Amino acid sequence: MMTTQPSIWTDPLRPAARPTLGRNLSCDVAVIGGGLAGILTARFLQDAGADVVVLEKHHIGAGETGRTTAKITAQHDLIYHTLSQRRGPVTARLYAQANLAAIDQYEALIRTLPTDCGFTRCPAYLYTNGSGHRLQLEFLAAKQAGIPCALVRKTELPVPVTLALRFDQQARFQPLEFLHAVAPGLTVYEGTPVERIRRGTRHTRLETPGGTVSARVVVFAAHYPLVTVPGWYFTRLHQERSYVIALQNAFLPYGMYLGIDPDGLSFRMAGDYLLLGGGGHRTGEDPGHPYEVLEARAKTLWPQCRVARRWSAQDCMTVDNVPYIGQYAPSTPDWFVATGFRKWGMTTSMVAAQVLSDLITGAPDPYIPVFDPARSLKGSVGNLMNEMGHAAKGLTRGLFQGRRCSHMGCRLEWNAAEGSWDCPCHGSRFAPDGTVLNDPAMEDTNLE
Ligand SMILES: Cc1cc2nc3c(=O)[nH]c(=O)nc-3n(C[C@H](O)[C@H](O)[C@H](O)COP(=O)(O)OP(=O)(O)OC[C@H]3O[C@@H](n4cnc5c(N)ncnc54)[C@H](O)[C@@H]3O)c2cc1C
């Protein structure tokens, strides 16, 4: 059985370790989480004049940002048709504009850095070998939303394609090189997990093993929101995991691709590697043999290829497919959150940095209502009910049998592909010795 390895993004990087918090301090803004969302938000706020501190449990880029496939694109699987139907064409247009602007912001920011971070403009494609009806609807909605795009029948892919939807002028990059190039100049404490959060009248106290940070404003960028109440994010978020292999001797010179059929794959070049992704499933469900399946697909497409690396990652999924970016809850005007990126958190971390820094500094921003976590979810009642069903099932099973998650007590399921115990309710994961691997669980669990 094959298991996970570090991603290719970590290979060339030997960043110096940052200090661990060893005293109490105060700041304007504390950002919890040193992934792309946290670091970019901290950078935007510091550039706007705020005194910002980032608290990171492990080291920056240790989370999902270090395991992504790093396409920077406004093409977020199928979204524009549904978004336009549910929330109207104006919201779909704003969603598109926010994400197209994010690609330009990457390009502009990277120009100021000492490295180009592998940033390359290229087209992004959705492809199908089916009827093409869903792509035609998506094309019309994307065009109406102002995205430069086209339907095409011919691609460079070695798989059968009946129709593809191309978005022009998208991009790809090396995410960890970018993260480490953006972070210098920020005050970041690594090896500093936030263990308790106490909100007072004027400040919030964030307790870590080495000291307490007292902050006027807190940004929750820890991937999954850490505080259960208020916010109640666990009722409207779940996590999905998927698998990536890095191939040598396989090549696609031009675009980035994502299949919309059930057996669809993700493709992009990264230097000498071709990244092939797939096998997505709700965390906690049995993935079968995802690496073996991907490798077998790769060998049929490029018989000479060699699998150089394999890894997996997971991301938070919202019930209406739009991230939750904004005020944490109506009762906490000094807390902010960025989560629910639905496997598109490269572009939407940049959107989050812009929206959150505008909210915190009071600058006008047309995108705030689009991502507002307090928006109406009435068009997504079916998905909300589904989330509740999963939680009820996991909790009931946890009551009567099996190993339980330290988050809310749901029964954990064994993921043989990863060698981990995974929670089907909210996506926490644990090593075989009970050490917590993924939030929202903040504590280890007893697996005996
Ligand atoms: C297989 C796969 C492929 C993907 N490919 C793409 C892609 O091509 N394009 C795209 O746009 N998106 C992609 N994504 C999504 C993208 O990788 C994520 O949305 C993004 O990396 C999330 O960034 P983040 O900063 O929110 O989270 P993270 O990178 O996970 O950062 C959160 C940080 O918070 C820290 N933390 C957690 N708890 C605490 C605590 N208590 N105290 C202190 N720190 C804490 C963690 O250690 C971590 O470093 C992909 C996702 C998957 C699963």
Q: What pLDDT is attached to residue 441?
A: 93
Q: Which residues contact 261 (CB under 8 A, 6 or more apart)?
A: 128, 129, 130
Does residue 109 fall inside a structural domain? Answer: no
Q: For residues 236 and 221, give the distance between their C-alpha atoms in angstroms, rounded to a whole number.
A: 17
| Same domain, residue pair 326 and 229 | yes
Does residue 24 fall inside a structural domain? Answer: yes
Ligand 1 closest atom vs CA 240: 53
**For residue 399, is pLDDT > 80?**
no
Does residue 92 fall inside a structural domain? Answer: no
Helices (H) and strands (E) in the chain, counts: 9, 21
Nearest residue to 311 (alpha-carbon basis) of 37, 117, 64, 124: 64
Nearest residue to 269 (alpha-carbon basis) of 261, 257, 279, 259: 257
Establish whether residue 355 lines the binding site of ligand 1, counting it when its CB lies within 6 angstroms of any ligand atom: no
**For residue 426, is pLDDT > 60?**
yes
Query: Is the alpha carbon torsion for 283, 286, 291, 293 positive or negative?
Result: negative
| Same domain, residue pair 361 and 408 | no
104-145 pLDDT tens trace: 999 999 999 999 999 999 999 999 999 999 999 999 999 999
Per cent of the chain over pLDDT 70 is: 99
| Same domain, residue pair 326 and 423 | no
Establish whether residue 70 lines the binding site of ligand 1, counting it when its CB lies within 6 angstroms of any ligand atom: yes
| Same domain, residue pair 331 and 230 | yes
Asked if residues 439 and 62 have their Cβ atoms less than 8 Å apart, the reply is no
Q: What pLDDT is attached to residue 67?
A: 97
Establish whether residue 188 lines the binding site of ligand 1, counting it when its CB lies within 6 angstroms of any ligand atom: no
Q: What pLDDT is attached to residue 2?
A: 63
Question: Which CATH number do you get for residue 213?
Answer: 3.50.50.60
96-105 pLDDT tens trace: 999 999 999 9
pLDDT band at 394 (very low <50, low <70, confident <90, very high): confident
**Neighbouring C-alpha atoms within 13 Å toward the C-beta of 437:** 19
**For residue 26, is pLDDT > 80?**
yes
239 Cα to the center of ligand 1, angstroms? 11
Strands (E), 201-272: 204-208, 211-220, 237-248, 256-259, 266-270
Residue 179, judged by CB atoms within 10 A of its CB (0-12, 13-18, 19+), counts as buried
| Same domain, residue pair 370 and 416 | no
**For residue 266, is pLDDT > 60?**
yes
Beta-strand pair 429-430/256-259:
unpaired
| Same domain, residue pair 12 and 64 | yes
Average pLDDT over residues 208-224: 98
123 Cα to the center of ligand 1, angstroms? 23
Cis previous bond, 114, omega within 30: no
Establish whether residue 440 lines the binding site of ligand 1, counting it when its CB lies within 6 angstroms of any ligand atom: no
Does residue 338 fall inside a structural domain? Answer: yes
Number of domains in the chain: 2
Cβ neighbours around 35 below 10 Å, total: 25
Q: What pLDDT is attached to residue 400?
A: 74
Establish whether residue 33 lines the binding site of ligand 1, counting it when its CB lies within 6 angstroms of any ligand atom: yes
Q: Which of 357, 375, 393 is the last residue in one of the domains?
A: 375
Q: Which of 333, 360, 375 is the last residue in one of the domains?
A: 375
pLDDT band at 384 (very low <50, low <70, confident <90, very high): confident
Q: Which of 335, 351, 375 is the last residue in one of the domains?
A: 375
pLDDT band at 1 (very low <50, low <70, confident <90, very high): low
What residue's CA is closest to ligand 1, atom 15? 343
Burial 150-167 (b: 16+ CB within 10 A, else e): eeeeebebebebebbbbb
- Residue-level length of the chain: 448
Place of tokens 């030997």: 14
173-209 pLDDT tens trace: 999 999 999 999 999 999 999 999 999 999 999 999 9
Q: Partners of 257 in the beta sheet?
A: 125, 267
**For residue 93, is pLDDT > 80?**
yes
Average pLDDT over residues 366-379: 94
Q: Cα-Cα-Cα-Cα dihedral of 35, 259, 233, 402, to 10°?
A: -100
314 Cα to the center of ligand 1, angstroms? 8
Q: What pLDDT is attached to residue 262?
A: 94
Does residue 100 fall inside a structural domain? Answer: no
Does residue 143 fall inside a structural domain? Answer: no
Establish whether residue 37 lines the binding site of ligand 1, counting it when its CB lies within 6 angstroms of any ligand atom: yes
> Which residue of 65, 227, 283 sits with most ligand 1 atoms within 8 Å of its CB, as the best mutation to test the pocket?
65
Q: For residues 6 and 310, give the distance between their C-alpha atoms in angstroms, rounded to a whole number.
A: 8
Average pLDDT over residues 66-75: 98
| Same domain, residue pair 364 and 385 | no
Establish whether residue 244 lines the binding site of ligand 1, counting it when its CB lies within 6 angstroms of any ligand atom: yes
> Which residue of 106, 337, 346 sits with most ligand 1 atoms within 8 Å of its CB, as the best mutation to test the pocket?
346
> Which residue of 100, 223, 226, 228 sits with most ligand 1 atoms within 8 Å of its CB, as the best mutation to test the pocket?
223
| Same domain, residue pair 337 and 362 | yes
Q: Which residues form the domain of 197?
A: 8-68+177-235+321-375
Establish whether residue 4 lines the binding site of ligand 1, counting it when its CB lies within 6 angstroms of any ligand atom: no
Does residue 267 fall inside a structural domain? Answer: no
Cis previous bond, 440, omega within 30: yes
Average pLDDT over residues 153-158: 96
Q: For residues 15 and 24, give the distance between their C-alpha atoms in angstroms, rounded to a whole number.
A: 26
Does residue 309 fall inside a structural domain? Answer: no
Q: Give residue 83's region: left, alpha or beta (phi > 0; psi -120 to 50).
A: alpha
